[in-house]
């Protein structure tokens, strides 16, 4: 395929199944291709008290790059099945840096629902404003029409109707009985 490239930032924690499924659906509609990208880092050596070197030289797998590729392939297969046509790429580095660099070759970047990192900064927000291509984020589970099923659709429709009823009429109650 030579259509648009849809890049999916895959979270190591969640696997980003909603983002992968959405990207695969869009790619099939526009005759595009999907690249799943997982950012990984080398494991840190354990800390030792008193400035002594750690007793253990290595704490992670023997080949962390291969381990990241295998994990990504498993996450993509779990979300899309074994017969997917998604290109899986695991790249060393932090998620923001890796995804920003990859966004230069992509036509669209798809992210899982925003989630705070340990430092408190939202990865998705940092990517939205700095990405070289448009960014789509999935709604959080249970929010909006994608996560709430029929009741979520009703809430969404009610919110749209209320918003339309208040349009251009600040402070007035919404139009009812339409």
Between 89 and 2, whose confidence is greater? Answer: 89
User: What is the pLDDT at residue 45?
Assistant: 63
Integer CA distances (angstroms), 122 to 65, 89, 129, 170, 173, in order? 25, 23, 12, 32, 36
Predicted TM-score (pTM) of the model is 0.70
Is the confidence at residue 168, as pLDDT, over 70? no
**Tens-digit pLDDT profile for residues 82-104:** 989 999 999 999 999 999 999 99
Rounded Cα distance between 146 and 122, Å, is 21
pLDDT given for residue 38 in this prediction = 96
Would you list the DSSP string of 48-114?
A: -GGGPPPS-S--S-S-HHHHHHHHHHHHHHHHH-TT---EEEEEES-HHHHHHHHTTT-SEEEEPSP
What are 100-141's pLDDT values in tens digits? Answer: 999 999 999 999 887 655 555 677 888 888 999 999 998 876
**pLDDT at residue 52, as a whole number:** 63
Which pLDDT score is estimated for 4?
92
Q: Which domains does the chain have, with CATH numbers?
A: 5-138 (3.40.50.620), 142-178 (no CATH)
pLDDT digits 0-9 by tens, 5-42? 999 999 988 899 999 999 999 999 999 999 999 999 88
- Residues facing 122 on adjacent strands: 116
pLDDT tens figures, 41-87: 887 666 656 666 665 555 556 788 899 999 999 999 999 999 899 99
């Amino acid at each position: 395929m030579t259509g648009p490239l849809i890049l999916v930032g895959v979270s190591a924690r969640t696997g980003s199944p909603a983002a992968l499924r959405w990207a695969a659906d869009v790619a099939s509609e526009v005759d595009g291709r999907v690249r799943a990208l997982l950012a990984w880092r080398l494991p840190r050596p354990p800390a030792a008290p008193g400035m002594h070197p750690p007793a253990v030289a290595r704490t992670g797998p023997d080949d962390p790059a291969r381990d990241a590729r295998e994990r990504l392939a498993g996450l993509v297969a779990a979300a899309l099945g074994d017969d997917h046509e998604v290109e899986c790429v695991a790249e060393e580095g932090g998620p923001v840096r890796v995804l920003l660099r990859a966004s230069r070759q992509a036509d669209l970047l798809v992210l899982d629902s925003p989630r705070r990192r340990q430092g408190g900064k939202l990865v998705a927000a940092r990517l939205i404003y700095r990405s070289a291509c448009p960014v789509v984020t999935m709604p959080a589970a249970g929010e909006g029409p994608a996560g709430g099923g029929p009741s979520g659709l009703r809430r969404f429709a009610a919110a749209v109707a209320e918003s339309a009823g208040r349009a251009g009429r600040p402070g007035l109650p919404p139009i009812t009985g339409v």
